[in-house]
Amino acid sequence: MDLYEIKDLLDRSINDQLLYAFYEYGDDGFYCGYVLSYNTDTVQLAHYTKYGERDGSLIIALENIKSISIKDEYLDTLDYLIKRQKQFHQLNESESNRLIPTSEGLKNQLELYQNDRSVILNLKISDEGYIGFVDEVRNSCFIFTEIGNLGHPIVTNLYRISDVSTMRVNDKAGRKALFLYNKNKKDGL
């Protein structure tokens, strides 16, 4: 990419602390960060992970930049996480202590979290991962609302309890979804 074409965008990121996503040729992923500096050949970013944690600095060659996302829901959500790292890290991991092995198996574990929106589960069901809330537990199945990585409810499904192979409580991915779910709920989204 030509520096002349993007200089104003880079300056805005530096001056106004705007978060951008940089896409490179030959790479399916992207890098998010605030521009720290640039020259005729490279851009230096304060790089952030999907959890809003600083992950060092990243230098990208201008010639490798395919596109730059300037504004979208993912960037808004990530910016929210970055600016609220303290609150995000205060989410309680201790809820996992409620997991008590019983002869009743997983059904009792799911019932512990039924309709509890302060705890989020990360379930492995038939080799697929789902993050969300248990709405109702029945005899051999349960109703589960999946929450997306931007904190929005995606779908509510009925699953067989016997198809659950793993249950994680308030893990990092789940806490991120819960943190953003609470933000969206507060914002009326």
Q: What tens digit of pLDDT does each residue of 41-69 get?
A: 999 999 999 999 999 999 999 999 999 99
Ramachandran angles phi, psi of 93, nearest 5°: -85, -10
Last residue of a domain, one of 28, 51, 84: 84
Cα–Cα dist 90/36, whole Å: 28
Residue 16 makes CB contacts below 8 A (sequence gap 6+) with none
160: domain range?
91-186
Residue 163 makes CB contacts below 8 A (sequence gap 6+) with 125, 126
Question: H/E element holding 179?
Answer: helix 172-186
pTM assigned to the model = 0.80
Strands 19-24 and 30-38: antiparallel
Are both 68 and 118 inside the same structural domain? no
pLDDT, residue 98, reads 52
Considering only CA atoms, give the Rg of the chain.
Answer: 20
* Secondary structure (3-state) at 158: strand
Are both 119 and 52 inside the same structural domain? no
Are both 80 and 130 inside the same structural domain? no
pLDDT, residue 152, reads 96
Residue ranges in the chain whose pLDDT is less than 70: 92-104
pLDDT, residue 142, reads 97
